[in-house]
Amino acid sequence: MKRTFLSVFALAAAVFAQDGETVRVFDARPRELTAYSVVWVADRPVAADAVIGVVFPSLCNLSQVVMADSRKLNGGVSVSVLGDTVWVQRSGLGATVAAGDTVDISIASIFNPPADSEPLEFQILERRNGATDLLRRLETQILTEK
């Protein structure tokens, strides 16, 4: 388990250095426990107390998710899982991320789908004032980190 947690930080550093909107996975082998990183460009500011959701394809198993990390969402985050969505709650201590800035979220301990089922769709949501808004829909093939 230590390897997965250490790997998520290395993955976040590697992915954050790249431009664009991507979904990357540390180990893309079917049914493997791994870390995912989702990167997108914010259309609007991301508040210090924002709640961001990452909707995973239904074939991913999120039952072991216990942590998330971000190089951009500073100040700390907590994580919870509801169905096919990992919710990342900012602590309120970090800076607001400006519209136009790149945002990254790395999530550890996700089991990959049982077989290649590309392309996969991921969604990025934000909970705001009691409503949930769709920020991005990323239809992507899983890109692996070497």
Q: From first to last of its 146 residues, what are the pLDDT tens digits of the chain? A: 444 444 444 444 444 444 578 888 888 888 899 999 999 999 999 999 999 999 999 889 999 999 999 999 999 999 999 999 999 999 999 999 999 999 999 999 999 888 766 678 899 999 988 899 998 888 765 555 44
pTM of full prediction above 0.85: no
**CATH code, domain with 116:** 2.60.40.290
Count of the separate structural domains present in the chain: 1
C-alpha 42/C-alpha 13 separation (Å) is 19
Domain containing 132 equals 2-144
Strand-pair partners of 102: 41
